[in-house]
Amino acid sequence: MKKILAVIMSLSMLLAATACSNDSNSSKSESKSDSQNSGGTSNTGSDEYQLKESASLKVWASQEDQEIVKEMVESFKKKYPDTTWNIEFGVVSEADAKSEVLKDTEAAADVFAFASDQLGELQSAGALYKITKNKDRIIADNIDASINASKVGDDLYAYPSSSDTYFMYYDKKYLSDEDVKSLETILSKNLGGDVVNFSFDMDNGWYNAGFFFAAGAKLFGDDGTDPTKCDFNNEKGLLAAKYLISLANNSKFKLTDDDITKADFADRKLGATISGSWNAEDIKKSLGDDFGVTKLPTVTFEDGTTTNLGSMANFKLIGINSQTKSPMEAMALADYLTSYECQKIRFEKRSFAPTNKELAGDKDALSSNPVVAAAAEQAQYATLQSTIPQMGNFWTPAEAFGAAIVNKEITVDNVQERLDKLVESILSTLT
Amino acid sequence: MIKKEKNDFATYYDNSSAKKRQKGGTIVSYIVLIILSIIWVFPIFLLILTSFREEPGSFTPYFLPKGYTLDNYIRLFTETDQFYYGKWFMNTLFVAIITCIISTFFVLSVSYTMSRLRFKMRKPLMNIALILGMFPAFMSMIAVYYILKGFGITQSLAALILVYSCSSGLGFYIAKGFFDTVPKSFDEAAILDGATRWQVFWKITIPMSKPIIIYTILMSFMGPWVDFIFASVIMGDKYENYTIALGLFKMLEREFISTYYTRFAAGGVLVSIPIAILFIATQKFYVSGITSGAVKG
Amino acid sequence: MTSIDFFFLPWYKKVFIKLGNFFKALGKGLFGFILAIPKGIWMLIKNIGLFFLGLGKTFARGDFATKISFVIMGFGSIVRKQFIKGLLFLSVEIGYFYYMVKTGWNDMLGLKSLGTKQQGWAFDEELGIEILQDGDNSMKFLLFGILSVMVTIAFVTFWRISISSAYETQLIKKKGGKVNNFIDDVKDFFDQKLYKTLLFLPITGVLLFTILPLIYMISIAFTNYDSVHQPPGNLFSWVGIKNFKVMFSSNSVLGSTFFPILIWTIIWAVVATFGNYILGMLLAMLINKKDIKFKAFWRTIFVLSIAVPQFVSLLLMRNLLNNDGAINMLLLDLGLITEKIRFLSDPLLAKFTIVLVNFWVGIPYSMLITTGILMNIPADLYESARIDGASPYVMFKKITLPYMLFVTAPYLITQFIGNLNNFNIIYLLSGGGPSNLDYYQAGHTDLLVTWLYKLTVNSKDYNYASTIGIIVFVLSAVFSLITYRNSKSYNNEEEFQ
């Protein structure tokens, strides 16, 4: 119990710490924005939303979230009974939000959920509404890292709703709690038959970046905001790439994706895998009592250093469409959807780790959920996904790099040259 | 147009002294045909197999399903909180019928005009049509979306109908090839008798053009059943107005695939049945349509 | 060189000569295409000149009513008691001016700058929040600007027609002839002018849904509408031919992606078109063989694969051919392989897989189409060849193939262009993957069109996507010019009527 408690605290504390180190000016800039904002809010002197008599809004959320979002909206309507609400729902996942919103911003939802790596591009395209109502309270309520992921410069452009990273699921039938502490131990086991020891989605930048982070390489500079910097090709990056190459050549490793992972666990053909909370329900169902979940294991690189595997963390945010006809009402709704109550519902029903400080500090509640606990424990090794527009350039080269390793096109002989190419592609600009 | 099998050219390989070799050759031919048939039918067989599979998920680490069920078919029509298969089917049918009426009219009008009527702009117009056909169509889909938005009809079936039928006039080449082969003497006789050109078109040419009309109808009817790109650009998040192709395509997106894969297969089987019947019933018109323009060359 | 000389040449010389001819034709086609541009411009200038010349003549010879018609459309008709016609012309004019005053004029002006006002924020005292101040939307400026130009051209055409009509009635009146009333005019539209009636709606549709979007997209290729200049937050502007320069320079990321993809696109189109064609023909011949029974049954089996919509069969194939897909599972279960075959994730194998799957899709079509034509080959050709002792292979090469190529040339051209732009099979099967580290936003199996699609949908680089679209067009146009203009069906159109 005590252990979990410590772990939970680390979620908020350490994410906050990374955030601080991310932006050495953060305290300064925050105070600046405070003063700016207090000038604004003092005019009205009210935190209450001034709502129209009736408002029509459209909300986008992913398929899995539809049910709970509808529930939340019902209670939202009860909270503001003086307004006649006409709220529509649309299914657009966090991952697709950017391309759908940018296709036709006017037709997109007023309030939509999106992943924090899209923030930069959405904001620079002018698709996000600047949030000035109750800005200080929102900043105060949520952990600093999530607020940093919602800001461009000093301006707030989204409401944080949950944090997201990946960790490890394993089958207790094959691996013990001790085994899963190190990737080398996992791979050294002989599980027999056609059971694969370890799988992960190597040709996906979201996952394979974890190895680079573990080695100490940095994407877009120390604070993740410099579009001209990426040192995946230095000696640390080289260690990570070589580790990936040897992993790809290991017959106990398998390339996977969400679908295959679920099928493998359902058929009990897999020892351990890297995945996130979105697969928790399915895997739990397949493994039953043998369901195991924990932080990522440690890896030992070629030079003998042993570190915990890193991960990429991002936040699910809720944004407001810049073209909305009812910005005040949309802000009220988005604020509510990311409030303490709603984050609690997401945590309870969907195992989403909250960003709300109060909820993230509520150790009793959080300790009850092993998936969230694993995520929290992993959080200390997580690197926050960059929110600058250049991030959009990361995914395809990283995917190509992973695929080339799996295809054995990248070997120890040409890895340095390919790493240089990877960095060149990530940092490339078209003009 | 195709004549009956009157001169099977394989006969000319016939040689009584090589009868034995011939027989061996026949067996080899049958074996090749059987192997090829298996290759061609295999995916369709798997589609049907998957549609009856009991356990969900897009991948199974084994080949044959562990259980069989009709559930996938039933759920397509009963679980309509997210995917409205029945409604999509009716949407597509509606769009296909209207599109097919408009397109057929457009194609026949243009091809008849280009084939029979002579006017100053004829050749230039034909060349322009040829050129327009060479631009990749969906290069302009975003612009099409905004034009529809200008009309205020995005996310509606009317928008889809416009997109599918409005440019259909460009596809007149095959029908023109057909009209070119219909003797002109009928027209001239009718005009001498005092018929207007409209009457010639409507009362003489159209009734004589059954194969090409069926071909045109068939082609324009099929379009809406298979397009998912334009449909997805136009419909966006409006699930209830999706067409069947777009809906099935959605089912295989990352967040849906593991739940809906078997239902996708069931949906695929259901949509294939009417198309298969239609196509097999009208395949001779399809062939004569494609080749009518060509054979005369 | 006579054909007999050619026949006796060693094979490599034959290949050499054939290649030479091909490049000669290619050069000719390119040359023709490049020549067509100044020719087109010259024709345009000439026509504009003729337009004004005709206009001037009409004005000089026209009487008072005709002259007034230059300003008030339909005046000449109304004076001569063609009321409905005149009023129709007048309403077109009023409608046009209404549109121009309301938005059209501003739209046209906006075309030059594509917007100047940037989106901004202003503090709202009452609500206590910052409120968005809408800026100009360059994309809409461009689209509606083009629309206003098109409307203007249409109006000028109508204006010209109204003047001609006024002048014609003037002449008829002068001669003392009977002026057509409205019913006569309508009747005329179903007889002498039937082509106008029949073409009106289809051409309107094409103008609105093909030409307008196309001009828009072509214009985009000359702007900087890329991921960093996206509306509504940003403005974009004209940049001239910069995008083409970037695309063709081999040291830019785009250039180094463009050329390899172009080469693969051409290889793909050739293999897919001719592979499908020849294999489909062989299949048709196999089924046509005299001693094969149940011909209709065999054909139906192959036709079944056409009947399953492509997106269903291809998406299914994508799963079957996955590393963990059913085909690998089946082969493992049967013990035929020990390691999974990486059908779609190995760069080279993926290309083969796609070509093979395309055979699965395409062979039934070409079988269906060639079946009928094969039976039409004159029997005596085979007869005499057989007497000369020709082998089946020689007969195929010397009789069947030339005959078929001759008859189905237009079909082959459409197939080739269709394959250059074959979006479905690549997008549904491999999605262009596996990704290629050396490419910008593209994978090993991407064609130019799928890359174009990715650039529009994923990375929102509309300007480069349009540039690619134009290049694909030029490619198809050159190819078609080479073959189509030389084909008999184009040149001898009247012969068969």
- For residue range A49-71, list pLDDT tens digits in order: 888 889 999 999 988 888 899 99
Q: Residue B49: pLDDT band by 50, 70, 90 thresholds? A: very high
SS3 A84: strand
pTM summary value? 0.86
Kindly state the average pLDDT of the residues C361-367: 91
In the prediction, which pLDDT does C262 show?
A: 93
Whether residue B105 sits in one domain with residue B53: no
Q: Among partner residues C212, C214, C329, which is closest to B63 by beta-carbon distance?
A: C329
Picking from B46, B70, B94, the residue at the C-terminal end of a domain is B70
pLDDT of B270 reads 92
Distance, in Å, from the CA atom of C425 to the CA atom of C160, rounded to the nearest integer, reads 48
Q: Is residue B4 part of a domain?
A: no
Please give the average per-residue pLDDT across C57-69, as a whole number.
87
- Inter-chain touch A262–B238, beta carbons under 8 Å: no
Kindly state whether residues B95 and B183 are assigned to the same domain. yes
Please check whether residue B178 is in contact with residue B216, taking contact to mean a CB–CB distance below 8 angstroms.
no
Do B66 and B94 lie in one domain? The reply is: no
Are B143 and B63 in the same domain? no
Candidates 3.40.190.10, 3.40.50.300, 3.30.565.10, 2.40.40.20; correct CATH number of A2-164+313-384?
Answer: 3.40.190.10
**Among residues C323, C42, C231, which one has the least CA distance to residue A125?**
C231
Q: How confident is the model at residue C5 (pLDDT cuts 50, 70, 90)?
A: low
Name the pLDDT band for C2 (thresholds 50, 70, 90): low
Chain A interface test: which of C129, C242, C329 (most A C-beta within 10 Å): C129
pLDDT of residue C478: 80
Q: Which residue positions in chain A have pLDDT lower than 70?
A: 1-46, 431
**Domain end marker among B41, B70, B99:** B70
pLDDT at position B5: 42
Q: Are residues B49 and B131 in the same domain?
A: no
On whether both B161 and B31 belong to a single domain, the answer is: no
Task: Compare B184 and A140 and report the one with higher pLDDT.
Answer: A140
Residues of B in contact with C313 (CB under 8 A): 43-44, 47
| Minimum distance, in Å, between the CA of residue B81 and any CA atom of chain C | 23
Lookup: tokens for C233: 């937050």
Sign of CA dihedral B16, B20, B21, B26: positive
Q: Give pLDDT, residue C484.
A: 63
CA distance A334 to C480: 56
User: Do C132 and A327 count as a contact with CB atoms less than 8 A apart?
Assistant: yes
Query: With bands split at pLDDT 50, 70 and 90, how would you rate the model's confidence at B73?
Result: very high
Q: Can you give the CATH number for the domain in which B199 is found?
A: 1.10.3720.10
Q: Which residue of B has its CA nearest to C362?
A: B40
- Cβ-nearest to B297 among C139, C201, C487: C487
Question: Rounded to an integer, what distance in angstroms lies between the CA atom of residue C201 and that of residue C208?
Answer: 11
Question: Which C positions 86-125 lie with beta carbon below 8 A of chain B?
Answer: none
- Between A246 and B19, where is the model more confident? A246
Q: Is A62 on the interface with C (CB under 8 A)?
A: no
| Parts of chain A belonging to CATH 3.40.190.10 | 2-164+313-384, 166-312+387-427
The per-residue pLDDT for range A107-122, each reduced to its tens digit, is: 899 999 999 989 999 9
Nearest Cα to Cα of residue B148 among B160, B133, B165, B135? B160
What would the pLDDT profile of B236-295 be if each residue is shown by its tens digit?
A: 888 889 999 999 998 888 878 888 899 999 999 999 988 888 888 887 777 777 666 544
Both B79 and B21 in one domain: the answer is no
Same domain, yes or no, for B175 and B205? yes
What H or E segment, with its residue span, contains residue A299? Answer: strand A298-300
- Whether residues B6 and C408 touch (CB distance < 8 A) is answered with no
Nearest chain B Cα distance for residue A202, angstroms: 17
Domain spanning C250-490: CATH 1.10.3720.10: yes
When pLDDT is cut at 50, 70 and 90, the band that residue C363 belongs to is very high
As a whole number of angstroms, the distance between CA C87 and CA C95 comes to: 12
**According to the model, what pLDDT value does residue A331 have?**
94
- Of B23, B47, B70, the position where a domain reaches its end is B70
B138 and B262 both lie in a single domain:
yes
What is the extent of the structural domain holding B57? Answer: 9-70
pLDDT at A16: 47
Q: Strand A382-384 vs strand A151-152: parallel, antiparallel, or unpaired?
A: unpaired
Count of structural domains, chain B: 2
> Which amino acid makes up residue C398?
K
Which chain C residues are Cβ-neighbours of A41 within 8 angstroms? 128
pLDDT of residue C22: 67
Average pLDDT over residues C366-384: 84
Tell me the β-bridge partners of A315: A163
Q: Please tell me which of the candidates B59, B146, B239 has its beta carbon nearest to residue A259.
A: B59
Residue B18 has pLDDT above 80, yes or no: no
| Mean pLDDT, all residues of chain C | 86
Distance from CA of C49 to the nearest CA of A (A): 42
B232 touches chain A (CB under 8 A): no
In the predicted model, what is the mean pLDDT of residues B186-214? 86
CB contact under 8 A, B22 and C488: no
Give start-end residues of each CATH 1.10.3720.10 domain in chain C. 250-490
Instruction: Write the pLDDT tens digit of every residue in C394-441.
Output: 888 888 888 887 777 777 888 888 898 889 899 999 988 899 999 988
Domain contains B3: no
As a whole number of angstroms, the distance between CA A208 and CA B289 comes to 53
- For residue A110, give how far its alpha carbon lies from the nearest alpha carbon of chain C (Å): 14
pLDDT at C7: 62
The arithmetic mean of pLDDT across residues B221-232, rounded, is 88
Q: In whole angstroms, what is the distance from residue C179 CA to residue C161 CA?
A: 17
Query: How is domain A166-312+387-427 classified at the CATH fold level?
Result: D-Maltodextrin-Binding Protein; domain 2 (3.40.190)
Q: Which residues of C touch A132 (CB under 8 A)?
A: 128-130
Q: Residue A35 has what pLDDT?
A: 40
Nearest-Cα distance to chain A for B254, in Å, is 8
pLDDT exceeds 50 at position B10 = no
Q: How far is B129 from chain C (nearest CA, A)?
A: 9
**Chain B contact for A285, CB < 8 A?**
no
Chain A to chain C, count of Cβ pairs less than 8 Å apart?
121
The pLDDT of residue B265: 93
Q: How confident is the model at residue B93 (pLDDT cuts 50, 70, 90)?
A: very high
Give me the residues of B, 25-44, that contact A with CB < 8 A: none
Mean pLDDT of chain B: 84
> At residue A115, what are phi and psi to the nearest 5 degrees?
-85, 145
Give the phi and the psi of residue C74 in degrees, each rounded to 5.
85, -5
Residue of B237, B256, B263 to mutate when probing chain A, most A C-beta within 10 A: B237
Selecting from A66, A93, A263 the residue whose C-beta is nearest the C-beta of B59 gives: A263
Q: Name subunits touching A (3+ CB pairs < 8 A).
A: B, C
Name, in order, each residue with C-beta under 8 angstroms of C319's C-beta and a sequence gap of 6 or more. Answer: B58, B59, B261, C325, C326
Range 240-259 of B in CB contact (< 8 A) with C: 245, 248-249, 252
Beta bridge partners of C343: none
**C251-288 pLDDT, tens digit each:** 888 888 999 999 999 999 999 999 999 999 999 999 98
Mark whether B25 and B88 lie in a shared domain: no
B79 and B221 housed in the same domain: yes
The neighbours of chain C, by the rule of 3 or more Cβ pairs under 8 Å, are A, B
The pLDDT value recorded for residue C6 is 62
Task: Verify that B13 and B106 share a domain, yes or no.
Answer: no
Whether B272 is covered by a domain: the verdict is yes
CA distance B242 to chain A (A): 13
Q: Quick check: bond before C434 cis, omega within 30?
A: yes
